[in-house]
Amino acid sequence: MGARDARAALNQIRLPEPPDPALVRKSMRPKAARIVKAFEAESAPARKASAARPRTTSAPAPTPTAAVAPAKKIDVAALEQRVTGLLDQLTKVDSQIALAEAAQGLAARARLNDLNGQKATILRTLAALEKARRSAGA
């Protein structure tokens, strides 16, 4: 999927009104999730009333299924090749971390922090690729 296709898919599934940033932050915390649910339950009748208003544009509302359809065309072989490359990179970073842990000094600590950041990025990318593989049904 190219960048333009991804942007078009995101624009099709974008919410008409963006959520309140404070509610988004609160919903990320487990303790505050029930507060957000309570707020949504209170504001649900108001949302239904605003949804009942007729649209002023003549174009039909975009269907969310149209945005999902292009995501199914994932090249599984390319995905596996990318995962293999990332796993090799992760192995190299792990070996460099082992060497950096043995070293002393401020520079070694900075290098260790940098390597841990690289490792976290690789793991996040692997998680995203796994999510893409699962969505493709492979």
Per-residue pLDDT of the chain (138 residues; tens, 9 = 90+): 688 888 888 777 777 777 777 777 766 776 555 665 666 666 665 545 555 555 555 555 555 554 444 545 677 788 888 999 999 999 999 999 999 898 888 998 999 999 999 999 999 999 998 888 888 775
Q: What is the pLDDT of residue 18?
A: 74
* pLDDT score, position 32: 57
Q: What is the pLDDT of residue 42?
A: 67
- Looking at residue 67, its pLDDT comes to 47
Every domain of the chain and the residues it spans: 1-73, 74-138
Q: What is the pLDDT at residue 66?
A: 47
User: pLDDT value at position 16?
Assistant: 74
pLDDT of residue 127: 92
The residue behind tokens 């842990």 is 101
Token readout for 77 is: 């072989």
Burial 49-86 (b: 16+ CB within 10 A, else e): eeeeeeeeeeeeeeeeeebeeeeeebeeeebeeeeeeb
Q: Which two tokens stand for residue 57?
A: 């544009």
